[in-house]
Chain A
């Protein structure tokens, strides 16, 4: 349960930070890269804790984190 709350906190912080800096897209790009990196690390931590950390899962979180940040940065 704590894992889910941490993820929700990360998501909320990211969205608020973007709202506060949306006048400068350089900040938004950096925030997005940071968010994707933190999500990737969160995934590793969460699955390691559950004892289900495998190479496939590492790659899955990595691909989705890169894809997510590319979808935002690609807009500018």
Chain B
């Protein structure tokens, strides 16, 4: 598989990340104009989103899968491993947390911690076959994690419909709501901001230090560049592969657990339907990771941007014909563009050349940025 060999700094001169966002916003404005709505609506609703309390809570809600699944993806891809089963691990994490949070009675805080751990463990369980097959047989982890993702919704559906688990008082099959002892109290009154958000931020910082300042981080990055050379250098590549994939799955499971404990409370059948499994929020972890320039700290602004954009489009959908799916289209477009940095850098160079800022230096110099 293609390895990510280019290293972009946090904010390089002509960042493909920023260019893709700019191009997407230009296209968004064009589409909004074509439907006869004033494009200032977009900026207005972006400001509105940041100023109202309910939408800040919505942003906090969306940020959990975006940020933590993005981190899970990043950890794996630094070692050259693609875990594209984020959504399945996320769902399994939700299920694990729900099983502990709604069905056991334990003392406060300990209960929530257990729910988080079990959620992370469920995420780890889902990626375990992929990790074992990768280490033992060299099966491509892209395909196996992708296949395992689609197992998760069916497992969760099967469990939710079981008579022992389904909540008797609800009409539709759903799990029991999470008990108050498993929930973490809000730190700021009125906002859904609690200890778990701090935990996520701490995880981001820890993974930054892990990757940049420790021996194991260096090994991970070396494996991402060239696994064969790394193994010749005496590093146990198999163990590292297993560790990275497991950690990635566990982080996504943790994201699901946090999402369930803080925002959802229970799992509905509709939420795990196949369509939700296909295009759920956790897939966007891949998008945030690449928009953040494959950098742990870079994920945070990328997540903020995606969350604000999604909620801005949601706000717009109340008054204009722009639906939520329009936001989905824009998110997809950003991901599509960011896939080819050299295209974006190329556009940047052409634009500069057209403005006469730089002379023609000949050849495709921008390729060397990668």
A joins B in a complex:
no
Residues of B within 8 A of A (CB): none
